[in-house]
Amino acid sequence: MSIFADADTRLVVQGITGKEGQFHARQCVEYGTRVVAGVTPGKGGQKMDDIPVFNSVAESVSEAGANCSLIFVPPPFAADAIMEAADAGVDLIVTITEGIPVLDMMRVKHYLKIRAARLIGPNCPGIITPGEAKVGIMPGPIHKAGGPIGVVSRSGTLTYEVVYQLTLQDIGQTTCIGIGGDPVNGTNFIDCLAAFEADPDTRGVVMVGEIGGSAEEQAAEFIRQNMSKPVVSFIAGMTAPPGRRMGHAGAIISGGAGTAQGKIEALKAGGAHVCEDLGRIGEFCAKVF
């Protein structure tokens, strides 16, 4: 089992004929994901390798049976692409695009409340259920299929580091999700924790957070009240100075809020096992799980 993406995922890649979209669509195919369609407005009828390209997401749903979209569209057109996918009726929308204006994402977030689709991202590496489906840009080979651990993170390469150490310890993953580093995103920590809690094959969760906002504090409260499965957590940014944006648009300590220390304390109080040394997180997980 897994959450949100699995062997039944039928992927459409929005922006498939662009440089990044093309490269990563091929990587997804190579991993074994069923990439059933691509969308580039104006290039309908063409093919990218063997993948049919459509003018709209709606066509990719009706013609190719797509149920999940992966978006590589540049920032000025990303909000449009997300809402188009939601209107077309896909179940899951994974947005890799970095640099979408905040107001655009706010409108998208409110719009999605009246649509069934789940959004992951933006500014994220995507989601992978090892051995079944890779919907994103993460390196496939570092993962180990079969579970029993779920991973959820606000970061990209930091997640790869954590997953890699899990795999070295022979700890497989059910699903790994990057929820993205932007201040306004779709799926949050709590959505993922709840789904992992409900997934019978997931026996524990690694949650990777960072400075800024209060998503980790809210997750800590959720863990305290709702999680029966063990949660290991790591928070990046102990040494980050206040008031400076640390790469990710959402990674900023402002007005004394959003510090790593505050998040670690909240997570400990919520019953999570907090690992403060990334270099040892694999060993740490081996002990906890």
Partner 1 sequence: MKIHEYQAKQLFSEYGVAIAKGGVAESPETAKAVAETLGGFPVAVKAQIHAGGRGKGGGVKIANDISEVVKHAGAIIGMNLVTPQTGPGGQPVKRVLLEKGLNIEKELYLSLTADRESAGILIMASEAGGMDIETVAEQTPEKIIKVHVNPLTGIYPYHCRQAAFGLNLDKELIKPFSQMLTALYKLFVDLDCSLVEINPLVITQEKQLYALDAKVSFDDNALYRQKEVVEMRDFDEEDPVDVEASKYNLNYINLDGTVGNMVNGAGLAMAVMDTIKLAGAEPANFLDVGGGATAEMIENGFRLILSDKKVKAILINIFGGILRCDVLAKGVVEAARNTEINVPLVVRMEGTNVEEGRQILADSGLDLQTARDLKDAGEKVAALV
Binding site for partner 1 (CB under 8 A): 23-24, 75-76, 99-107, 109-111, 137-139, 141-142, 153-161, 164, 181, 183-184, 208, 210-211, 213-214, 234, 236-241, 244, 246-251, 255-256, 260, 276-280
Beta strands in 96-166, from DSSP E residues, in sequence order: 118-120, 126-129, 133-136, 148-153
Best CA proximity match to 213, nearest among 248, 177, 187, 241? 248
One of 24, 110, 143, 248 is an active-site residue; which one? 248
Least distance (Å) between residue 161 CB and partner 1? 6
Backbone angles phi, psi at 217, to 5 degrees: -65, -40
C-alpha 127/C-alpha 166 separation (Å) is 17
| Tokens encoding 227 | 């999680």
DSSP letters for 168-209? HTT-EEEEEEE--SSSS-SS-HHHHHHHHHH-TT--EEEEEE
SS3 category, 49: coil
Least distance (Å) between residue 107 CB and partner 1? 5
Give whichever of 158 and 206 is closer to partner 1, judged by the CB atom.
158
C-alpha 13/C-alpha 82 separation (Å) is 12
C-alpha 112/C-alpha 118 separation (Å) is 8
Give whichever of 160 and 189 is closer to partner 1, judged by the CB atom.
160
> Counting Cβ atoms within 10 Å, is residue 201 exposed (0-12), middle (13-18) or buried (19+)?
middle
| Tokens encoding 275 | 């690992």
Q: At what angle do helices 157-168 and 281-288 cross, to 10 degrees?
A: 60
Least distance (Å) between residue 12 CB and partner 1? 21
Least distance (Å) between residue 71 CB and partner 1? 16
| Tokens encoding 144 | 């180990």
Give whichever of 103 and 269 is closer to partner 1, judged by the CB atom.
103
Q: How close are the terminal C-alpha atoms of the chain, in Å?
A: 18
Least distance (Å) between residue 141 CB and partner 1? 8
Judge whether 273 counts as a catalytic residue: no
Give whichever of 8 and 276 is closer to partner 1, judged by the CB atom.
276
Q: Give catalytic residues, as residue numbers.
A: 248
